[in-house]
Copies of this chain bind each other. A is one copy, B any other.
């Protein structure tokens, strides 16, 4: 058994990580920390884990965490960077589900996240944990920056177009719709049932933190300049991201469907649907899976990609375990191969 620790297990990402880890045959959960809930049984906060996780939350303590083989950070932005160095020096592998190590340009990161970075040197060595792009590097990584939910859906959806130089990379649009769990479990008026329910709105149109992350990822796949418009929307569902991606073909494209299928043919967690499909988010609910469909519009150079995932799974905790499996030399699909819950 590989000993793992979870820092910040009270949010939705942490809870989902615990749900998945509890059924993972090679992961032993050694410690689950929460400053706010220290001493409280995990299953009291998350009754779905009764009978699956007996532990109580404990105060985060680097010494205790150092006894783990791998530590997951399911904490707010700015936490992992304060503890990562000590853990890495104790030979603990670190997977950060927040944004501390995602952006290589430190100044850019500091501007978007509004704080000073505590360990810029570690950012340089961190591997961006998108296995469909960085699998080999992840296998030997000590520090993995687990991608954001929107960035996973958008990058996977655009990647075959960008990598193959098929579209005008300066004119990309990602119109994204997210379930409310993406906003976390903090008490706030905007995500109350009566505020977010039976309604829909865009937000952060002037700029969202996931924009630089997506742009960085797409830029690494091409020599061209990436010009991306990214508009997120809050929608009345609990889980799920639907990215509707728009790009203009640079010329005739032969067998776009085949290009997508070939790109992901060996990927266990990307599913290219048959031509003409419209994936719905529930087709990936609770599953570590990104399903997508690609459409060329008749009489137009417009390509529309529909890419869906569960923001808490392939967009967070599931992908973190996928990275954990790769880093640990385990089968990549271990513990995250269950089908989605539908209806």
Binding site for B on A (CB under 8 A): 12, 15, 19, 22-23, 46-52, 171, 173, 175, 177, 179-181, 185-189, 191-203, 205-207, 227, 229, 231, 233, 235-240, 242, 244, 246, 248, 271, 273, 276, 278-287, 291, 295, 297-298, 300, 302, 304, 306, 308, 338-343
Contact = CB atoms under 8 A, between A and B. Distances in A.
Given A193-B197, A194-B181, A235-B235, A207 B298 contact: yes
B233 A236 contact: no
Contact of A281 (B188, B200, B304): B200
B341 A48 contact: yes
A191 B191 CA distance: 9
B298 A206 contact: yes
Given A177-B235, A236-B235, A242-B202, A229 B279 contact: no
Given A205-B295, A231-B244, 5 more contacts: A47-B342, A48-B287, A50-B283, A185-B195, A198-B237
Given A180-B193, A189-B185, A205 B343 contact: no
Contacts of A195: 185, 193, 343
Interface centre among A177, A188, A200, A287 (most CB of B within 10 A): A200
Contact of A343 (B12, B173, B281, B340): B12
A206 B341 contact: no
Interface centre among A173, A279, A339 (most CB of B within 10 A): A339
A276 B286 CA distance: 30
Given A180-B194, A189-B185, A246-B229, A280 B200 contact: yes
Contacts of A308: 201
A280 B199 contact: yes
B281 A199 contact: yes
Contacts of A19: 339, 341-342
B238 A244 contact: no
Nearest to A310: B341
